[in-house]
């Protein structure tokens, strides 16, 4: 019944609320994203419980960034838990270190290109080279793939451009900012529907509030799954 192209963001206040949501969703969801907010409140234990006792897949959204040796050690620590996806920043030295740390496990490394919360002024403030954000995102994605990333996190607007890169062949594109038709956008500004995202060559969509804030989260997840399976969601690129 579930479709693991849908990753449910468990951005709920604590581990109990996370398990409660997973219970409500049951077989309507098979893949969960656990981020830093949940991690510091016991999220790794929840990740392990969902994985080992409930057979769910887990995406740990840690966005690691540090010197190579520290990234490698941090990723090696996470790799012991047999989780499925892990994010690091897309700087080549970070990605290479993460690959080393993940060696021998099945965990895939996803690179963050440029945080979607940053605009050109922010990049200027951080002394990031000139150029449009779209061009920089494409360039950073290409470099992350060359450094060994299994995939990237990309906004819906960037997904098709990244999918068109030669380096992206066989790589994963995972996209937040997805909203079913008619859903509340929340603070997401540049959104796509599940069908559009899949048609743009996205492998997994990450959806949080439209599911966990819904009166009936299970029905919301099933509706998104149905939308991904619709003919409009056929990817021309894959
Ligand atoms: O509730 P919503 O569907 O907007 O949740 C999207 C999830 O994806 C959240 O966990 C959010 O932190 C994450 N995310 C995002 N935009 C990014 C990176 C991650 O919305 N650029």
Say what the pTM is: 0.95
Token pair belonging to 163: 């999918």
The structure tokens 């450094």 sit at 147
pLDDT of residue 235: 60
- Rounded to whole angstroms, the Cα distance separating 141 from 146 reads 9
Instruction: For residue 227, report the phi and psi dihedrals to the nearest 5 degrees.
Output: -65, -35
Contact at 8 Å (CB) between 98 and 75? yes
Contact at 8 Å (CB) between 34 and 58? yes
Query: What is the number of the ligand 1 atom nearest to the C-alpha of 9?
Result: 10
Nearest one of 194, 205, 191 to 228, comparing CA atoms: 194
Is ligand 1 within 6 A of the CB of residue 12?
no
pLDDT of residue 238: 47
Residue 42 DSSP one-character state: I
- Rounded to whole angstroms, the Cα distance separating 57 from 31 reads 5
Per-residue pLDDT of the chain (238 residues; tens, 9 = 90+): 789 999 999 999 899 999 999 999 999 999 999 999 899 888 999 999 999 999 999 999 999 999 999 999 999 999 999 999 999 999 999 999 999 999 999 999 999 999 888 899 999 999 999 999 999 999 999 999 999 999 999 998 899 999 999 999 999 999 999 998 888 888 877 789 999 999 999 999 999 999 999 999 999 999 999 999 887 777 654 4
pLDDT of residue 81: 94
pLDDT of residue 233: 76
Residue 71: CB atoms within 10 Å: 24
Alpha carbon separation from 46 to 10, 51, 84, 119, 196 (Å, rounded): 10, 8, 14, 34, 31
User: Does the annotation count 63 as an active-site position?
Assistant: yes
Is ligand 1 within 6 A of the CB of residue 151?
no
Determine the distance separating the centroid of ligand 1 and the alpha carbon of 138, expressed in angstroms.
Answer: 20
Token pair belonging to 119: 């605009």
Contacts of 92 (CB under 8 A, 6+ apart): 143, 144, 146, 147
pLDDT of residue 190: 74
pLDDT of residue 189: 76
């Amino acid at each position: 019944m579930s479709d693991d192209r849908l990753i449910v963001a468990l951005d709920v206040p604590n581990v109990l609320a996370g398990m409660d949501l997973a219970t409500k969703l049951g077989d309507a969801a098979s893949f969960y994203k656990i981020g830093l907010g949940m991690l510091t409140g016991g999220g790794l234990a929840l990740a392990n419980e969902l994985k080992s006792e409930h057979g769910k897949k887990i995406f740990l959204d840690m966005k690691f960034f540090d010197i190579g040796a520290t990234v490698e050690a941090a990723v090696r620590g996470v790799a012991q838990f047999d989780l499925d996806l892990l994010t690091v920043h897309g700087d080549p030295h970070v990605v290479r270190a993460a690959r080393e740390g993940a060696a021998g496990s099945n965990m895939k490394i996803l690179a963050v290109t440029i945080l979607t919360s940053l605009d050109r002024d922010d990049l200027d403030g951080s002394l990031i080279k000139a150029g449009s954000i779209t061009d920089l995102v494409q360039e950073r994605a290409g470099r992350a793939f060359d450094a060994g990333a299994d995939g990237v996190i990309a906004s819906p607007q960037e997904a098709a451009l990244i999918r068109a890169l030669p380096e992206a062949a066989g790589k994963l594109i995972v996209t937040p900012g997805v909203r079913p038709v008619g859903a509340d956008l929340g603070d997401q500004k540049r959104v796509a529907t599940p069908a559009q995202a899949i048609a743009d060559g996205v492998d997994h969509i990450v959806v949080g509030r439209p599911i966990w804030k819904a009166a009936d989260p299970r029905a919301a997840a099933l509706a998104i799954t149905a939308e991904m399976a619709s003919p409009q969601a056929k990817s021309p690129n894959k």
